[in-house]
Amino acid sequence: MSNQLQIQIDKASESMDGGFSDYYQNMVNYFHQNPDHNLSYSAFSHRTNRATNALVSEKEAIFYIVAYGWQHHQSMQYLLSQTIDVTSEPQENIRVVDYGCGQGVATLAFMDYLSQKGVAQQSSLEVHLIEPSKVSLDIAKLLIERLAKAYGMQVFIHCQQRTLDNALIPLNSECKETFHLLSNVIDIETVQETLPSLAKQMMSCTGKNFLFATCPRYANAQTGFRILRQEMDFADNFYDECWDMTYQMYRVTQACWNQHTSTQRMAMMSWVSS
């Protein structure tokens, strides 16, 4: 089964001419047409502690991307659109650090945003993926490479298969701008414990820095955002809002598409380090 699932993931990754939405649609179609091969919501939640444990199989990765991938992508894209203008001073070389990247959805959302703004082809990305799950990390690398090819972008990917308490953030780079992405991890207690250490490393990243954090407004997420703001007190700018987001997505518990509304908390910070 694992080989069959790997083939499906690879096939879907080749469909991304129009961005992550193509991959998501392809994976939803597969999931919907093969119910006997899928995990149930209860089985997935039990094994992964409601998606907070590292994924260990392609079957778990497929369930996760179908159940949560579109929501994660849309919230990161919305935050980017509300807080930055990449067309005012477009950079040729951009560094991206994706913390607890999972299958790379936040980085893919950033790439989609660059494409929508017409600056993808002139952008070269230095991407650092930090993720404890080998399955998720391998998929993230594949999808980012495939999307970069579709958009005509140069991309150089560096992978760290480790938890965030052992993360090593690259402090020096030829890139003048660094984008730090925290997508749907700030509600996890073990991630919250690493925020003081991560903040110290982020503060030392040379050049102009932007941090983007998104998460549904869970009680645990509120704690995470409070810690983040406290530890990032060196940031020059701080943007923190909650939005009710409504979009069409596939609901795994109902096995159908419908309109979904969720309250997302999103924060953006920026600072310059020499």
> What's the pLDDT tens digit per position in 140-186?
999 999 999 999 999 999 999 999 999 999 888 889 999 999 999 99
% of the chain beyond a pLDDT of 90: 89
Phi, psi of 142 (to 5 degrees): -60, -50
The dihedral built from the CA positions of residue 253, 254, 260 and 261, taken in this order, carries a sign that is negative
Instruction: From 86, 158, 75, 74, select the one nearest 123 (Cα to Cα).
Output: 86
pLDDT at 126: 96
Alpha helices in the chain (DSSP H): 2-13, 20-33, 41-48, 58-83, 105-116, 134-151, 189-203, 219-231
pLDDT at 89: 79
Mean pLDDT of 190-196: 97
pLDDT at 62: 97
Residue 274 confidence (pLDDT) above 90: no
The mean predicted confidence, pLDDT, of the chain is 95
Residue 173 domain-assigned? yes
Residue 1 confidence (pLDDT) above 60: no
Instruction: From 172, 4, 166, select the one nearest 95 (Cα to Cα).
Output: 172
Residue 190 domain-assigned? yes
**Structurally, how many domains does the chain consist of?**
1
Residue 10 domain-assigned? no
Q: How confident is the model at residue 90 (pLDDT cuts 50, 70, 90)?
A: confident
User: How long is the chain?
Assistant: 274
> Scanning the structure block, which residue is given the tokens 């965030």?
164
Residue 31 domain-assigned? no
Residue 116 domain-assigned? yes
Mean pLDDT of 201-228: 95
**Residue 129 forms beta bridges with which residues?**
98, 159
Q: How confident is the model at residue 12 (pLDDT cuts 50, 70, 90)?
A: very high
Residue 4 domain-assigned? no
- Record the pTM: 0.96
**Residue 250 forms beta bridges with which residues?**
257
Q: What range defines the domain where residue 111 resides?
A: 73-273
Residue 58 domain-assigned? no
Residue 41 domain-assigned? no
pLDDT at 162: 97
pLDDT at 51: 87
- What digits encode the pLDDT tens for the residues 244-255? 999 999 999 999
pLDDT at 215: 97
At 97, which CATH number? 3.40.50.150
Phi, psi of 133 (to 5 degrees): -85, 120
pLDDT at 244: 94
Concatenate the DSSP letters of all residues of 178-244 into one string.
EEEEEES-TTSHHHHHHHHHHHHHHHT--EEEEEEEEEE--HHHHHHHHHHHHHTTT-SEEEEEEEE
pLDDT at 251: 95
The dihedral built from the CA positions of residue 37, 42, 46 and 50, taken in this order, carries a sign that is positive
Instruction: From 156, 268, 252, 141, select the one nearest 212 (Cα to Cα).
Output: 268
